[in-house]
Amino acid sequence: MPGPLRTLALLAALALAAGCGGNDALLEVSPGKHDFGRVMQGQLPEYTFTLTNRSDHTVGFKAMPNCSCFAVAHGLKPLDPGESQDFQVLFDTTQLMGPVKGKWVTLHTDHPDVPGMVIPLEGEIYRAYSATPETFHLGRIDGRPANYEPRVIRVRPESDYVVRLERAVSTPNVFTFEPVPHDSGGFDVKVSIPRDLRRPVGIFQARIRLELALTAPGGKGMRQNHTVDVDGFWSLE
């Protein structure tokens, strides 16, 4: 059986064994799944599940997410017969973007008849701003001295968010930055190379990091970093 089919078969078997959400289940997780909905990148929402032991065994549990974007916020204690406990699943939105599907947390148990329970999870991560371009291709750069027209990074907020620039840096440190506020609540960043800057001849690669402060419509603030990759060829022609 191919790998994906084996995974689906395992999930179905575990769900049936646990009877997620069913009153006849020996071990029950309620609710049996969760959709976090649309979440702004950088936020860390949690959702609370209830785990119940309806069997006549004391049962220990171990939570294993199949993605680093989810984590069980606190350890699970063993449950005696008839006991319940709440636990939180954390959605880490800092590293991903777009729809998050086909993810789950497996609760492995030491119950002889229920080896594990699967909790399907999903959500969608969106960015509260747009930034263009994502990459600069500078082409050939004259290094005697640099003769370079400024490029512009355009940063615009989504919906009613406000975004401002706290700091701009580059690695290596070859650029100067001039932020220009925009009526949208965003800004432009003029990116220049100083005219007296000299670099070794050859392929040139750099990364610009914009350190952003975002304010949500309700006034809640957060910080995010946005990176722009740069490449070109430094010449002496």
For the chain, domains (ranges, CATH) are 3-126 (2.60.40.10), 129-235 (2.60.40)
Least confident piece of the model among 54-63, 83-92, 193-202: 193-202
pLDDT class of 237 with cuts at 50, 70, 90: low
- Whole-angstrom Cα distance, residue 11 to residue 22? 16
pLDDT class of 20 with cuts at 50, 70, 90: low
Q: What is the pLDDT of residue 74?
A: 80
Percent of residues, the chain, with pLDDT higher than 70: 87
What would the mean pLDDT of 187-207 be, rounded to a whole number? 87
Q: What is the pLDDT of residue 84?
A: 95
pLDDT at 145 over 80: no
Q: What is the pLDDT of residue 184?
A: 83
